[in-house]
Structure 1
Amino acid sequence: MDILEALDEGKRLSEEDCYKLYDLDLQVLGFYANKKRLKLHGKKVYFNCNRHINPTNMCVDTCAFCAFSAHRHNPNPYHLTHEEILKIVDDTVTRGTKEIHIVSAHNKKGGWEWYFEIFRKIKDKYPHLHIKAMTAAEINFIAKSFFDGDYSAVIDKMLEYGVDSMPGGGAEIFDEKVRNELCASKVSSDNWLKIHGLWHQKGKQSNATMLFGHIESRENRIDHMLRLRKQQDISKGFNAFIPLVWQKDNSFLKDLKPLGSIEILKTIAIARLVLDNISHIKAYWATLGLNLAMVAQEYGADDLDGTIEKENIQSAGGAKSANGITLQDFIDNIKTSNLIPIERDSLYNEIKEY
């Protein structure tokens, strides 16, 4: 079957056809991606009121793309206490935050208890808050450091201490040759997928990400999406895919030109067409900028992420996301685009239409 015929009929694309998608014109990809997006979500644009907290930037791993880790180009190492984290939570709750998103570096200081006890403290004080925490990379690090490599034991601890869903970080690019150059000491691609599969077996949901725009090829991106599609067929727990645009400032990857808007929009549209079994495609404004994230809503994306309030990881690499974005800015930008602002919870239950 011709690839355009498959797209017209809304059928699942073969792996062979998926690798041909980048050959199509941006407007052709946008047409079919937007058609799929409208079928799934109409003109709704989702976002949530969330607060990102990054408890430490002291990391044992040395990922070439990272500007956040303190032992690279970041001269300001820090390690928050639980009291400092709770103070942040106390403050953000007053502004209606509903999700606490906690992603940390890989640091043995304090043992596994330092990672998990803060979740219980937040839940004890604010049982209504949704805790999204522990990337597969963090789980891999904690399992190897403290649990004899037992991923299931770490996941059981997450559930015991109050984690509600998993973020998608640490996926980067699944191709192992590329991964060896980017993050050789981090969780492998197979184990990233295995960890999310184990989490899904518990009836829990997670995000999936892909970091692109560095040394990977277009074929690497398609391979990455196809591996996610295969995993989703099995475990059915990914609620969103987040293509993250790599931020080049302060990294150890040199002489790389940033991607242009056309390549970024093509990748988002292709994600919508390939990942037919993942409901939501997120245009993460923290790496795209809000303007391009809004354009992406017409190229297959249906979500912007959230207000964030404070962001350390992407902003360390040059993104203009350090201080988050206001709820009103989300609403105004979505309405101006003739789309419908929908505040959601972390699992995509609709809270309010503006």
Structure 2
Amino acid sequence: MDIVEKVRNGERVGLEEALELYELDLFTLGALADEKRKKMYGKKTYFNINRHINPTNICKDICKFCAYSASRKNPNPYTLTVDEIVEIAKKSWQSGAKEVHVVSAHNPEAGLEWYLGMFKAIKEALPQIHIKALTAAEINFLAQEYGLSHDEILDRMVENGVDSMPGGGAEIFDEKVREYICKGKVSSAGWLEIHRKWHERGKKSNATMLFGHVEKREHRIDHMLRLRSLQDETGGFNCFIPLVYQRENNYLKVEEFPTGQEVLKTMAVSRIVLDNIPHLKAYWVTATINLALIAQEYGADDLDGTIERESIQAAAGAKSAHGMALDEFVHLIKDSGFTPVERDSLYNELKVWR
């Protein structure tokens, strides 16, 4: 049985077979992923009205791909106060945001109460807003910095109002690649264990993969398979987000960047391999809005959201500093032949834009 027939029969693919998928021509592979997408969601494309808040850029870790943390490449350190963070959340809520997505650097000067206190303060001011916050990398940093276990940090997150976890910090799970691009950050096993523990608390999270730098295709597949294995155990991942590496203002010496075709192939392979993670997000911030719109035909059923403001990817060259207007976002999805569906953070449908 060839790989196309196997996928169409709904059979799972392993590492070697997933590499075979990459060798298919772009349109054959895209058609396979699109068939899966249509069975699940038809022509619906999900998005939410959200606000990214990046409260500090002071970081003890030095990841080679990062342009956001205060360093020689970004010599403007900042840390927002809890009051400033709450004020941003309030303004975003008034503008229609249903979610704040809070991701920081690993700031050893800010204090544990600053990290957790901001969530409590946001929840007290805005009880209905969904707080998506603290990557596994941040949780690991806080546990090490303050002599606590991962369980203790996770319990305090729940107590202070965190609703779900973002998928950041995963990068690439292959240990050798990880050693090169983000030495000192949470390990691949640590990342997976933190998400396992979060899922055991009945909570949902997302998963990411940073690709297009020094990794190879087999590293991407290995990454997906580790996520698939954990999802078989817990069912706690809402969404997989392949993040395209941003090339500006960092220390990772990359000679060849992925083509648009390679990005779309990676989207399609993700949809086929990750048969148990419901949603596949083409994060327009890193993929560009044009490629993200095309990715809707390569398995992606989610484009993230309006974002309003974003600093981490923008520092490395992404065109996301000021987000995107809601009406423009809806128009672009419609214009590409899909049906925009506003969702909440857990993928409950709020409004279908006809």
Q: Secondary structure at the match of 1:257?
A: coil
- Mapped to 2, the partners of 1:83 and 1:193 lie a distance apart of 33
Q: Distance in 2 between matches of 1:224 and 1:254?
A: 22
> Relative to structure 2, which stretch is displaced further, 129-138 or 19-28?
19-28
Greater shift, 8-17 or 175-184, is seen at 8-17
Structure 1 gap segments, 5+ residues each: none
Secondary structure of the residue aligned to 1:309 is coil
Structure 2 residue matching 1:250: 3-state secondary structure: coil
Is residue 147–residue 154 contact of structure 1 (8 Å, CA) maintained in 2?
A: no
> Which residue does the alignment assign to 2:174?
175
Q: In the aligned structure 1, how far is the partner of 2:59 from the partner of 2:337?
A: 43
Offset at residue 2 of structure 1 (A): 2.4
Alignment partners' CA distance in 1, 2:72 and 2:227: 30
Asked whether 1:290 is paired with 2:289, we answer yes
What is the CA deviation profile of residues 238-287 of structure 1, one whole-angstrom value per residue up to 9, with x for unaligned ones? 00000000001001012423211000000000000000000000000000
| Contact 2:90-2:126 at 8 Å conserved across structures | no
Which of 9-18 and 121-130 deviates more?
9-18
Report the equivalent of 1:25: 25
CA contact (8 A) 2:86 2:125 kept: no
Mapped partners of 1:189, 1:206: distance in 2: 16
Query: CA 1:201 to 1:72, structure 2 compared with 1: closer, same or farther past 3 Å?
Result: farther
**C-alpha RMSD over aligned residues:** 0.9
Deviations 1:182-236 (A, max 9, x none): 0011000000000000000001000000000000001110110011111110111
Return the offset for 1:25. 1.1
Measured in 2, the distance between the counterparts of 1:111 and 1:92 equals: 25
Counterpart residue identity of residue 283, structure 2: Y
Alignment partners' CA distance in 1, 2:186 and 2:254: 26
The equivalent of 1:110 in structure 2 is 110
Match of 2:327 in 1: 328
Instruction: Name the SS for the 2:17 alignment partner.
Output: helix
2: CA distance between counterparts of 1:123 and 1:91? Answer: 14
Please tell me the residue identity of whatever aligns with 1:135.
Answer: T
Quick one: distance in 2 between partners of 1:265 and 1:50? 25
Report the Cα distance in structure 2 between the residues aligned to 1:286 and 1:207, rounded to whole angstroms: 16
Task: Give the 5 Å matches for 1:81-92.
Answer: 81-92=81-92
TM-score, normalised via structure 2 length: 0.98
Q: In structure 1, what is the Cα distance between the partners aligned to 2:14 and 2:261?
A: 24
Does residue 1:164 correspond to 2:142, yes or no?
no
SS across alignment from 2:333: helix
Paired AA for residue 98 in structure 1 = K
Q: Residue 20 of structure 1: SS of its match in structure 2? A: helix
Amino acid paired to 1:52: H
Partner of 1:276: 275
When residues 217 and 72 of structure 1 are mapped into structure 2, their CA distance, relative to the original with a 3 A threshold, is farther
Letter in 2 for 1:34: D
For residues 1-354 of structure 1, what are the structure 2 equivalents within 5 Å?
1-148=1-148, 150-354=149-353
Aligned-partner Cα distance in 2 for 1:322–1:257: 25
The offset of 1:91, in angstroms, is: 1.3
- Tell me how far apart the structure 1 counterparts of residues 171 and 83 of structure 2 sit (CA, whole Å): 32
In 2, distance between residues paired with 1:119 and 1:160?
9
| Percent identity over paired residues | 59
Deviation at 1:135, TM superposition (A): 0.1
Question: Which aligned runs of 4 or more in structure 1 are off by greater than 3 angstroms?
Answer: none
AA in 2 matched with 1:113 = E
Matched residues in 1 for 2:110 and 2:221: separation? Answer: 39
